[in-house]
Structure 1
Amino acid sequence: MSSSFRVGVFVDAENVRYNGGYQMRYDILRRFAAREGGVLQRLNTYMAYDAERAREDYEYKKKAHAYQQMVRDFGWKITAKTVRRYTDDNGNVTTKANADLDMAVDAMLQANRLDQVLLVTGDGDFLQVVEALQNTGCRVELIGFKNVSRLLQQRVDAFYSGFVIPDLLPVHYEPRNEWGKPGSCVRGVCTKWFPDKGYGFLRVMNQISPNLWITDPREPDSPYISVFCHANEVADEVTEDLLMNRETVLEFYVNESEQKDNGLVANNVRLAFSVNR
């Protein structure tokens, strides 16, 4: 990829937070966006900030500012949207800090200096933004976690589940996790399952690479690995229908096979995410 290839990233932080992406790592997201060697022209994230709560809750204010500073240290520009409170006729209070318009406007205004845009959201309201960006000549990619608009997935040039990008979403109970190494916890999808034989194969993105389109792990330049999975290692909640659905994301441990040299096997396979849940 040419070094003049310009990339812009726009993160709908609140949508990500409430749809499975809590604790998403901005350093890994930056690395993913730059995987093809392009110039990271824009790194924008749109976050909510509750100023009213901050006046009364020092710990909230302290943590919010510390988190924002950490994200800035990774080179991101933060647009903080103030949380607003609304009271209905029954006295019920709701809060809202919608950054959709800001994010959409910024993406459109900055598109003329970009070759590729990476949107991090699941909100179907960005459908027209995607089409408008593509009409300017931009390639548009999408990262989402749960509740990602199906139409949005279909209209972008490439969609990636944030669950399967190495280390983008930490495994909170494995703080020293080394993704893809024997003994590590990873997430992936089932590519083949043989119900009559009681086994199949899972695919894991083992590294962030410009070759994500080479999905066959047998290819030497593929960033994916294939992991053997026996039915005995699969949790009861993971039905055959879920296994045979490529949109089902599984979380499991990888270990070296005792039967095959350089082979990998899956242990303790459980459900990380399914479109049916």
Structure 2
Amino acid sequence: MLKVGVFVDAENIKFNGGYQLRYDILRRFAARDGGTLLRLNTYLAFDQERAKNDSEYAKKSYIYQQMVRDFGWKIIVKQVKRYVDDEGTVTTKANADLDLAVDAMLQVENLDLILLVTGDGDFLQVVTALQNRGCRVELLGFNNVSKQLQRQADAFYRGYLIPDLLPFSYEPRNEWGKPGSCVRGVCTKWFQDKGYGFLRFIREISPNLWITDPRENDSPYESVFCHINELADDVTPELLLNRETVVEFYLKESDVDDGLIATNVRLVYDPS
């Protein structure tokens, strides 16, 4: 049985597109192949000095930490430290890189797969060392993910594309993948001369994410028709031709066949 560990660099994710990440969905994603979750670690920052003077901040931090614990995660709290330079400028820091790296290295002998949730290129050597110890390392991130880290990892997943991992604040009751719902995906084909193309999204969390052809019976992906009139001004056909571009769109049942069409297509992630 696959033994899985998940290590979340929460501060990096928070400031790079993953604010409001859902830890319950992340847990399901990590165990999608029937693996046993042995380690669920997330490294959070807490500003003790601010908490003394801001009761609302302290309350929200406690509630958030408790919610994450309720999903079965171990929280490693890093205290925010303040530094004053020669000009009197105050900077804050709560870096958990070393703690995360040490914990992962100590646990690697007990794990078959590590899901590293970060975009920080400083973990490049850590990933290499974990792989050299016989562990598969997968990477999940949103924005500003190190290209070198992506290439070194055994697999990279853009967090925006995982169903329900990042909620839509304007669609609180969103039923991902159903007609009328909002989803995120990428463009797989675009015909410039005809003014239309096809978008693809992940229908459900599945162990078969490697089966990217929606025509395969076991594929968790679905293809959606998209007309150029549905693109927002900043979503150009040229941008769509880059497979790293992520868009969000609403699903609508087609009037001409049993398929789906995309409406109100907006840009989420621009790789340029």
Return the TM-score normalized by structure 2: 0.99
Q: Tell me which residue corresponds to 1:52.
A: 49
Number of the residue aligned with 1:32: 29
Question: Which residue does the alignment assign to 2:254?
Answer: 257
- Greater shift, 156-165 or 83-92, is seen at 83-92
Residue 95 of structure 2 aligns with which residue? 98
**C-alpha displacement of 1:71:** 0.2
Aligned equivalents of 1:103, 1:225: Cα separation in 2: 36
1:72-151 pair list within 5 angstroms? 72-151=69-148
The offset of 1:87, in angstroms, is 0.9
Deviations 1:99-120 (A, max 9, x none): 0000000000000000000000
> 1:172 & 1:205 partners in 2: Cα distance?
20
Size of the aligned set, in residue pairs, is: 272
Equivalent of 2:271, from 265, 270, 275? 275
**SS of the counterpart of 1:253?**
strand
Q: Which runs of 5+ in 2 are unaligned?
A: none
CA distance in 2, matches of 1:205, 1:24: 17
Could you tell me how far 1:129 is from its partner in structure 2?
A: 0.6
Name whichever of 61-70 and 231-240 sits farther off: 231-240
**Pairwise CA RMSD of aligned residues?**
0.5
- Equivalent residue letter for 1:42: R
Gap runs ≥5 in structure 1? none
Give matches, 1:218-237, under 5 Å.
218-237=215-234
2 CA distance for matches of 1:255 and 1:120? 32
Shift of 1:78: 0.3
Q: Which amino acid aligns with 1:226?
A: S
- Farther-moved stretch of structure 1 (87-96 vs 40-49): 87-96
Among all aligned residue pairs of Structure 1 and Structure 2, give the percentage whose two residues are the same amino acid.
Answer: 73
Q: CA deviation at 1:92?
A: 1.0
User: 1:241 and 1:228 mapped to 2: Cα distance?
Assistant: 17
The answer to whether the aligner puts 1:198 opposite 2:195 as a matched pair is yes
TM-superposed CA distance for 1:249, in Å, is 0.2
Return the letter of the residue paired with 1:6.
Answer: K
Q: Report the residue type matching 1:265 in the other structure.
A: I
Alpha-carbon distance in 2 for matches of 1:270, 1:199:
15
* SS of the residue 2:166 aligns to: coil
Amino acid at match of 1:247: E
What TM-score do the two structures reach when normalised by structure 1?
Answer: 0.98
* Secondary structure of the structure 2 residue equivalent to 1:63: helix
1:239 shift after superposition: 1.4
| Structure 1 position 173 matched with structure 2 position 170 | yes
